[in-house]
């Protein structure tokens, strides 16, 4: 059962770069899917289609079997259910301190202060950042910012969590901690989709791997099968 699908999605940037060249793929509900590809393969562009930030020029995106429509109400539903952790935390974090940062999403969804408080503390605990609660976000280390960005999305309790290169520039210990955290989130029933150019990470962590190159899918399968014919 696919929670997210792309059907013949074509997308070109304004400067003429063809980032997605009629791409089709499905993300299975409850699984850990990794999109593996070099820089520029189109991974980020694909992810931005999955929560409606970008709209395909041709083709369509589906969420839970439904064709994504680009009106206010569908986009609201989509963005509540599909959370994105951006590659660069500085593009995601904008509040004065960590607590306010993580509160923003749930408050924006209309949760009460009490419900928000609970969600924020749960998210901080899970990501190991409770001690950073009152710290200004701009003074955090890169690794800390990455964890706040994950907590941001967790607090909104989406069904799918998409992470763009979540382990890029993290040291090996932080990388392992992040992957362990993601396993825990997945065990709670969340669908996870992440991108990487790290073959070993994809091989050891994914349930399903999608290989992307120059805006196209060039292979997919389980870690055991996907590299078999290379």
Residues lying near ligand ADP in the complex (CB under 6 A): 13, 15, 17, 19, 37, 39-45, 127-128, 141, 143-144, 147, 174, 177-178, 181
- Residue 1 CB, shortest distance to ligand ADP, in Å, is 26
- Residue 211 CB, shortest distance to ligand ADP, in Å, is 11
End-to-end CA distance of the chain: 28
Looking at the Cβ atoms of 143 and 219, the one nearer to ligand ADP is 143
Looking at the Cβ atoms of 43 and 190, the one nearer to ligand ADP is 43
Q: Give the Cα separation of 92 and 121 in Å (integer).
A: 19
- Residue 45 CB, shortest distance to ligand ADP, in Å, is 3
- For residue 168, the surrounding DSSP H or E stretch is none
Q: Give the Cα separation of 12 and 205 in Å (integer).
A: 31
Q: Which residues pair with 4 in a beta bridge?
A: 27, 63
Looking at the Cβ atoms of 19 and 156, the one nearer to ligand ADP is 19
- Residue 180 CB, shortest distance to ligand ADP, in Å, is 7
Unique residue bearing structure tokens 């605990």: 125
- Residue 107 CB, shortest distance to ligand ADP, in Å, is 24
Looking at the Cβ atoms of 38 and 67, the one nearer to ligand ADP is 38
Parallel, antiparallel, or unpaired for β 160-164 and 82-85?
A: parallel
What's the token pair of residue 80? 């509540």
Looking at the Cβ atoms of 17 and 188, the one nearer to ligand ADP is 17
In order, the DSSP letters of 35-75 are: EE--TTSSHHHHHHHHTTSS--SEEEEEETTEEP--SHHHH
């Amino acid at each position: 059962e696919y929670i997210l699908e792309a059907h013949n999605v074509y997308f070109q940037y304004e400067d003429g770069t063809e980032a997605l060249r009629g791409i089709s793929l499905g993300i299975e509900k409850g699984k850990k899917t990794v999109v593996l590809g070099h820089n520029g393969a189109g991974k980020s562009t694909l992810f931005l289609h999955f929560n409606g930030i970008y709209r395909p020029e041709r083709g369509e995106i589906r969420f839970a079997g439904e064709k994504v429509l680009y009106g206010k109400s569908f986009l609201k539903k989509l963005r509540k259910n599909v959370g994105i952790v951006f590659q660069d935390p500085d593009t995601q974090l904008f509040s004065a301190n960590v607590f306010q940062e993580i509160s923003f999403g749930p408050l924006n969804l209309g949760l009460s202060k009490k419900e928000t408080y609970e969600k924020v503390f749960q998210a901080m605990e899970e990501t190991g950042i409770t001690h950073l609660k009152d710290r200004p976000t701009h003074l955090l280390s890169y690794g800390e910012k990455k964890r706040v960005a994950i907590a941001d999305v967790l607090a909104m309790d989406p069904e799918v969590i998409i992470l763009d290169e979540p382990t890029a520039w993290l040291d090996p210990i932080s990388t392992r901690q992040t992957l362990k955290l993601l396993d825990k989130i997945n065990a709670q029933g969340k669908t996870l989709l992440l991108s990487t150019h790290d073959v070993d990470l994809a091989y050891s962590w994914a349930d399903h791997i999608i290989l992307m190159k120059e805006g196209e899918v060039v292979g997919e399968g389980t870690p055991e099968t996907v590299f078999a014919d290379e």
